[in-house]
Amino acid sequence: MNKKITIAIDGYSSTGKSTVAKELAKALEYIYVDSGAMYRAVTLYAMQNDFVGSSFFNDESLINKLNEIQLHFQLNAKTANADMYLNGENVEKEIRTLEVSNLVSKVSANSDVRKKLVAIQKEMGKNKGVVMDGRDIGTVVFKDAELKIFMNASADTRAERRYKELTDKGENVSYEEILKNVVERDQMDTSRKDSPLVKASDAIEIDNSNLTRKEQFDKILSLVKDKLN
């Protein structure tokens, strides 16, 4: 398979986008980019500098410092995944906490933040052979992607998955607060002015509430093969 395409995977939070995107990238020997990790890293930076909290967002201060935020992914030999680095520091663990999840929609609604991250994402995918997941990949970042997937699942299914993921990692969280976060993030991500989460007109929607991980992977892989042939 010499022809390389661009695969955009968008959808609501905790729909398993990154799981399937990683599996696909591995099978196809493509680059996987978790765009949400980048928004999470900028949010962590804003939290560390007291620019954002549950009741405030000092967006001007963050924008003034945007040039000082360096982001890069680096392969973790132990997990075989690419970890997120913020100004040279591995922040993979910190960006997955519920605290960051609760603030990331606020920060990612900012147009200057989006402009900076979209430019980096476009650069990462310029040679194709990339699987990127997020909220605006098929609508903004790679409007010309050959394959666009829009993933969905019921809020309960998604909250259960996220609850299991976080408690497995040892985080002390309740199912109710996770469900609240999932619903609130959906609301903010779909209603923001700049690049709201919306299904691209040429995206294929997959509801995975009742699909196993393998069924979902096989389904998307067959869509990829159709595009490659």
Residues lying near ligand DC in the complex (CB under 6 A) are found at 13, 35-36, 39-40, 104-105, 108, 134-137, 185, 189
CB distance 92 to 86 below 8 Å:
no
Question: How many Å apart are CA 180 and CA 134, to the nearest integer?
Answer: 20
Nearer Cβ to ligand DC (28/114): 114
Instruction: Please state the closest distance from residue 34 (CB atom) to ligand DC, in A.
Output: 7
Burial of 215 (0-12, 13-18, 19+ CB in 10 A): exposed
Question: How many Å apart are CA 144 and CA 90, to the nearest integer?
Answer: 32
Instruction: Please state the closest distance from residue 31 (CB atom) to ligand DC, in A.
Output: 16
Nearer Cβ to ligand DC (104/131): 104
Q: Which amino acid is at 181?
A: N
Instruction: Please state the closest distance from residue 195 (CB atom) to ligand DC, in A.
Output: 7
Nearer Cβ to ligand DC (102/167): 102
Instruction: Please state the closest distance from residue 165 (CB atom) to ligand DC, in A.
Output: 11
Nearest to 208 by CA among 32, 18, 28: 18
Nearer Cβ to ligand DC (135/148): 135
